[in-house]
Structure 1
Amino acid sequence: MRKEDGAELLVIPLLGYKPLIGMIHLPPTPSYVKDRVDIDRLVDYALWEAGKLADAGFNAVIIENYGDHPYTVTAPSLSVLAIARIAAEVARTYSGKLRVGINILRNAAPQALEAALVSGASFIRVNSYCELRVSMEGILTPAAYIIERIREELRAPVLVFADVDVKHSAPLATASLEQILHDCARRGRPDAIIVSGSATGEPPSPGYVASIKAMVPYKPIIIGSGISIDNIMAYWRVADGFIVGTSIKLNGKTLNPVDERRARQLAELVNELRVKDYQKLGLKV
């Protein structure tokens, strides 16, 4: 996006300027050990959630097997197939309204990419893309090599949004955050970097996000947790996109359905902030 004096705003491919990405936290998928939900009901639930987010004005959604906890590092085949079908239905139904992303917990990146390829999803989130980390599910190994190999061999038009210092985990290496970021951004070739707080629903500090942005100013930075209508303005100048889940759910509970009022209020605020940016830079809205 170029303004009159030739300067450019950092735009995330396919998603645009400071996109708002809503979470579809799925109930337990068919391979889960208890309280699982059959695929048809999962499809209906995801379409219902996506419809509310599309109507509210969100730009994209991420379909995630959040209800499957405790997770394995990879994922059972039946869960992957279910997510692929769900993503395909959402992508088809809301084509032109929402971009669809996939995250398969805990770090099933190749499976997420395969699901994206067959479903028509536009991007995947990868929890451990360039780092060796430890979590309650086990060791999370870097996925960059296999993901880039698949993307290259299949010419896959799927974007990769890579977490750095991902929540609910700890590093197993002594490299500095700056070194990890530079190596990941330049060698791993993700399309954007995700920065999150320590847990689901917890935001990173604005200063922490600003420091990461300063380290890799050429790469889009997406906030991966904790964004709400009450704090988004604190991140507006240091982030290029926002993944939102907990704060737009009924009663602010992660596994609850989307609260249409909360989602719409946040989307309206984001749109107002975008319009102000366009006007300041002499861009057409």
Structure 2
Amino acid sequence: MDLNQTFKTDRPIIGVVHLLPLPTSARWGGSLAAVIDRAEQEATALASGGVDGIIVENFFDAPFVKERVDPAVVSAMTLIVQRLKQLVTLPIGLNVLRNDAHSGLAIASCVQAQFIRVNVLTGVMATDQGIIEGQAHSLLRYRRELGSDVKIFADVLVKHARPLSSTNLTNAVQDTIERGLADAVILSGWATGNPPNLEDLELATAAANGTPVFIG
């Protein structure tokens, strides 16, 4: 993947729009207008601050479902991303938490967003939502069926999770790219806000062999 084609730079900084609780989530407040207003404020602030792209995620829907989200979440996120595209000219991506890559891909394809983040594309991870299995085989076929060119950014040994197998970082990166067909990989620390260490970043970059590596 050539990052310059998507972000106009080979070292893009992607800002996150953390959506307030959406319909059907545990903390849903009853006003989609309030969610949209907050998302618009965050997106315009990020764009003014100079980021190279934006990713929209249902961050405040915790506790998350581990697989398919409710249709109301898909509808709300579709509407919100469409509104944001009218406000900012930056590339936009989606992360439908905890691991609903199919919904993310469907939304992105319909609103012409550029990328999605997938927390578990390959392998099996023990998470606070339970056991999550990667569905790369299904997701890549779905992208082909949609005729979509949305890029797939996949976490490797994703935060807030532990692999059930004894795989090492090098093998995990290679499998995610070569067997999961990720367009880029994401390396993070143990939890939200914790960066990866430099040694792991160097290992991941070497294993990626030219495929973009993002710091999550």
TM range (shorter): over 0.9
The alpha-carbon distance between structure 1 residues 11 and 100, as it changes in their structure 2 partners (threshold 3 A), is closer
Within 5 A, what are the aligned runs for 1:21-40?
Answer: 21-40=14-33
Q: Is the 8 A contact 1:133 1:139 kept in 2?
A: yes
Give the corresponding residue for 2:55. 62
One-letter amino acid of the counterpart of residue 28, structure 1: P
The alpha-carbon distance between structure 1 residues 13 and 172, as it changes in their structure 2 partners (threshold 3 A), is farther
Within 5 A, what are the aligned runs for 1:10-21?
Answer: 11=3, 13-15=5-7, 16-21=9-14
Give the corresponding residue for 1:165. 157
Q: Residue 72 in 1 paired to residue 65 in 2?
A: yes
Q: Residue 185 in 1 paired to residue 177 in 2?
A: yes
SS of residue in 2 equivalent to 1:166: coil
Q: Residue 152 in 1 paired to residue 138 in 2?
A: no
The alpha-carbon distance between structure 1 residues 149 and 214, as it changes in their structure 2 partners (threshold 3 A), is same
Give the corresponding residue for 2:82. 88
CA RMSD of aligned residues (A): 1.5
Within 5 A, what are the aligned runs for 1:198-209?
Answer: 198-209=190-201
Identity in percent: 34
Give the corresponding residue for 1:127. 119
Number of residue pairs matched by the alignment: 213
**TM-score with structure 1 setting the length:** 0.71
Q: Which moved further from structure 2: 34-43 or 54-63?
A: 34-43
Gaps of 5+ in 1: 1-9, 225-285
Quick one: distance in 2 between partners of 1:223 and 1:110?
Answer: 23
The alpha-carbon distance between structure 1 residues 41 and 60, as it changes in their structure 2 partners (threshold 3 A), is same
Give the corresponding residue for 2:93. 101
Give the corresponding residue for 1:235. none
* Bigger relative CO (Cα 8 Å, ≥ 6 apart): 1
Quick one: distance in 1 between partners of 2:86 and 2:110?
Answer: 12
Quick one: distance in 1 between partners of 2:107 and 2:137?
Answer: 18
One-letter amino acid of the counterpart of residue 32, structure 1: S
Give the corresponding residue for 2:39. 46
Give the corresponding residue for 1:252. none
- Structure showing greater radius of gyration is 1
Quick one: distance in 2 between partners of 1:124 and 1:38?
Answer: 26
